[in-house]
Amino acid sequence: MGKKLMSNLEGYRSLWPRRILVIFSSLVLFFLTAPLVILIIQSFTNESYLSFPPPTYGTRWYTEVIYSEDWQNATFLSLTIAIIVTPLSLVLGTLVAFGLERGPKKGKQTIQAIMISPMVLPHIVLGLGLFKIALQFNISDSLWAFVPAHLTITIPFVIVTVGASLQTFNISLEEAARSLGASKFWAVWYITLPIISPGLIAGAIFSFIISFDEFIITFFLATFQRTLPLEMFSTLMYQVKPSIAAVSALTLAITAILTVVLMFRGQVVGGGKIIK
């Protein structure tokens, strides 16, 4: 009887760490998702002000956002920049990743640190530097400034995702194709790129999301043109209207859809390895 009681006590005690972990994880999850849930609920208000819970529900502000010329122009500009930036960052970032992986090993770590430094540098510092360059070339407030500026922060993500895929790629497959007569270019095109395609997809999705949502760098470069984040900021400066909640919910939906695509079609990079 005593042994059974001691065994039950030990089993009960062993459950406590797991329960504490579950409780802590639940609290963190609630802390992260609660603001988003509240925002989405508020976006369906029919009132002219934000409150939680809304007195009445409807799609009034979604309709206003969809048919508003200002919101349409801002969304179109953000999409245009993101659509241009995504393939450019994918091509340039992939070339850099190949160069780092298969190029000379001397100075590789230094070059890699420089190439991915925009990921960790404050965007306000990058924005100020890019603003000075744009003024020198007289290209501020145009796509000629927005696209290169966004590339500085999207290319590093492609380098990381594609580089991680290349680290797990079996180079003997490419060498086998070359031994059968394929040139180096076609061996990479038909063998390497399809195999590392999850890393390419992940890099493209990251690039699109980052470019579409970028605010700080664009804020330095824009004068009259407004991307979607800038239009949201401009609206918040004068009055907190429920249209902000509607736009935020739509942006969140786009990001969530792309994240789901990344999870099911791409791969997640973690600890220098590719995790399926």
What CA–CA distance (Å, rounded) separates 270 from 160? 10
Each residue's pLDDT tens digit, 217-251: 898 888 888 888 888 888 777 767 777 888 888 88
Each residue's pLDDT tens digit, 131-183: 888 888 888 888 888 999 999 999 999 999 898 888 888 888 888 888 888 78
Judge whether residue 259 has pLDDT over 80. no
Each residue's pLDDT tens digit, 22-65: 888 888 888 888 888 888 888 787 777 777 777 778 777 788 88
What CA–CA distance (Å, rounded) separates 122 from 28? 26
| Reported pTM | 0.79
DSSP structure class, residue 57: B
Judge whether residue 201 has pLDDT over 80. yes
The per-residue pLDDT for 2 is 52
Spell out a b/e string for 171-195, using b for 16 or more CB atoms within 10 Å of the CB, else e. eeebeebeeeebeeeebbeebbeeb
